[in-house]
A and B are shown apart, each in its own frame.
Chain A
Amino acid sequence: MIEERTITFVKITYNPVMDFFKEFFIGEVKAKTLIIISPIITGLFNTRFSIERLKRKIDNDKILTYIITREPKEDFHRKAIDILMSSDFTEIRYNNSLHAKLYICALDEPIFAILGSGNLTKNSIEKNIEIGMLIFHREQGRQILHELYHWGGIRLRTLKESKVVKKINYRRGA
């Protein structure tokens, strides 16, 4: 087993999705915004952090969540998207050219992100050989996070191919 290495603002991870979720669910940061960019998404059923659990956390914590994925062709992908669609706090876009995998957790500023190979799937967590970088909001990591946040939160969402299929429905104070 290769040891994970931390260089203060970035940690190399061999299970990027799991490590992101560990930070997201168990870490000290109570997210305000979440960006999930993954070509394929599955329900992650029978795993520690299922999509159902993710949806519950998004709803409970009122996290504005921006999801960009490919248009589902398979049932498992569609089921996961259906769960996420049922939240008032999610915006979902399909972009069939998407190959990037990026996960960002933000307060007013991005706090940490994973940039790596892992789709949001059970295979990525349990079987595939994956690699990624967990980037923290310190030192040079701040500028990297800033650029990733701009790309994922704005640029990718405003590409012609990124078709919106569901908007955030939540009304604060309503």
Chain B
Amino acid sequence: MEFKEWFCLKGRDVFTIDPKVNSEDAKFYFGREGIKTQLLNQMKRAFLSPGVPKMLIYGIYGSGKTQTLFYLGYMLWHNKPSTCKLNIYTVHLELEMRSKSDSHDWHIQLMEALGKDRVTKWLEGLSSEGTNFETELKKIFDNEVNMVEASKGLTRGDLTFAAWRWFCGQMLTARELESLRVTRNLGDIGVGDMINLLEGLGRLAEKNNEKLIFLVDEAEQFKNVGGGEKGRDAMESLHDYLRKLTEPSNSTVGFIIAGTAVTLDDMPEWYYRSDILTRVGLDNVIEISHLPAIKDVETFMKEMLNEFIDKEKADKRIKEKKLNISLETYPFKADAFDLLAEYATQDPQKALPRNIIRTINECAITTWDKELPIIHTDIVNEIAPLIFG
């Protein structure tokens, strides 16, 4: 019998959760009622003021930051807050930084994650409204002529590529700049230029009935930046970029940034300076913690099993095979379920969703290997020390 049949899994092959492999897994957020409520409340408020969410998330490795980002992305798409009147367009980015990466590198990654096709689609949407295209572009980009010209270039076949490179902040040759009818490269006069463009793109999205929100993962990559004077300059430019994004005046481009850190001051100093935290607001700086209490782990596991197990099939299996276990903990015997929760909380630093999910899956694989119908304590004793030991 196949693994999924063996354990009466409902529409899935294994017990793991991985939104990067299976996008439907983004909807799960187990055993975190407190954090879930806080996240969704902050999101709801954010659309009233400042207009978009601006959030910094941190937690130790395996605490569920990536799942949090995917979950928020899922909720924004499928069940957006009533305070947001527009559709929400989320852009996922896994950040990558090196020692000399600066705001240009961050900008280009955001732009590439957003994609030329989406921006072009928004521009086409604007031009099909029947209003004066150029006038609308001037309003959107606050009369910034270069941005207007580059936007026009993006809709012209022969200039599309150069225009997109300009949007990304890449250095164009004098000839390319001339053909685009722009006077300088984006970012030549500072970081504000790039943020102005992003905010303009946010307004362009709104004209197309969409709110633009970036979901940025792996912010710990910012720690790679540094070393020498150039490194310091690079960090300052990243700080400026983030600070300008957090300005109250930015009501069009949202961001939720998640990174691995035990405490916020594990991140580079520029990331959590008071000017950033004040603008973001401490309620929007959210720690995703481990699951310290046995009760937390049990809730996590029960909610997970409740979603993953086909209860009807499992109930039939339990009765037919006289398994004498509760449907609530199936496929774990009650004592095996309790034992796993105990293992998970022995070392609070290891009481992480990633470890719990892995243990459940490995226990199930071992049970299936042995052709046993349910997970006993001896299997938990075999597997859990490998992961929590």
Contact = CB atoms under 8 A, between A and B. Distances in A.
Contacts of B3: 158-160
B386 A172 contact: yes
Given A160-B1, A173-B389, A146 B21 contact: yes
A157 B18 CA distance: 17
- The interface centre, meaning the residue of A158, A164, A173 with most chain B CB atoms within 10 A of its CB, is A158
A157 B361 CA distance: 11
B61 A172 contact: no
Contact size class for B?
20 to 34
A108 B62 contact: yes
Nearest to B369: A164
A158 B14 contact: yes
Interface stretch (A37-45, A126-134, A135-143): A135-143
A168 to B, nearest CB: 6
B369 A138 contact: no
B124 interface: no
Interface in A140-169: 142-143, 146-147, 150, 154-155, 157-160, 163-164, 167-168
B10 to A, nearest CB: 16
Contacts of B366: 167
B115 to A, nearest CB: 14
Interface string B356-386: 0000010001101100000000000010011
A64 interface: yes
Nearest to A142: B94
Nearest to A157: B365
A64 B385 CA distance: 13
Interface residues of A, number: 24
A158 B365 contact: yes
B111 to A, nearest CB: 15
A170 B386 contact: yes
B385 A171 contact: yes
Nearest to B94: A142
Given A64-B386, A160-B1, A164-B369, A139 B21 contact: no
B13 A168 contact: no
A160 B2 CA distance: 5
Contact of B389 (A143, A158, A164, A172): A172
A150 B385 contact: no
A64 B362 CA distance: 13
Given A154-B14, A171-B389, 20 more contacts: A138-B96, A142-B94, A143-B20, A143-B94, A146-B21, A150-B21, A154-B361, A155-B13, A155-B14, A158-B3, A158-B14, A158-B368, A159-B3, A160-B1, A160-B2, A163-B369, A168-B386, A172-B385, A173-B385, A174-B385
Interface of A: 64, 108, 138-139, 142-143, 146-147, 150, 154-155, 157-160, 163-164, 167-168, 170-174
26 contacts: A64-B386, A108-B61, A108-B62, A108-B354, A138-B96, A142-B94, A150-B18, A150-B21, A154-B14, A154-B16, A155-B13, A155-B14, A158-B3, A158-B13, A158-B14, A160-B1, A164-B369, A167-B366, A167-B369, A170-B386, A171-B385, A172-B385, A172-B386, A172-B389, A173-B385, A174-B385
Q: Which 8 residue pairs across A and B have the least CB separation, nearest first?
A: A172-B389, A158-B3, A164-B369, A173-B389, A150-B21, A171-B385, A172-B385, A154-B14
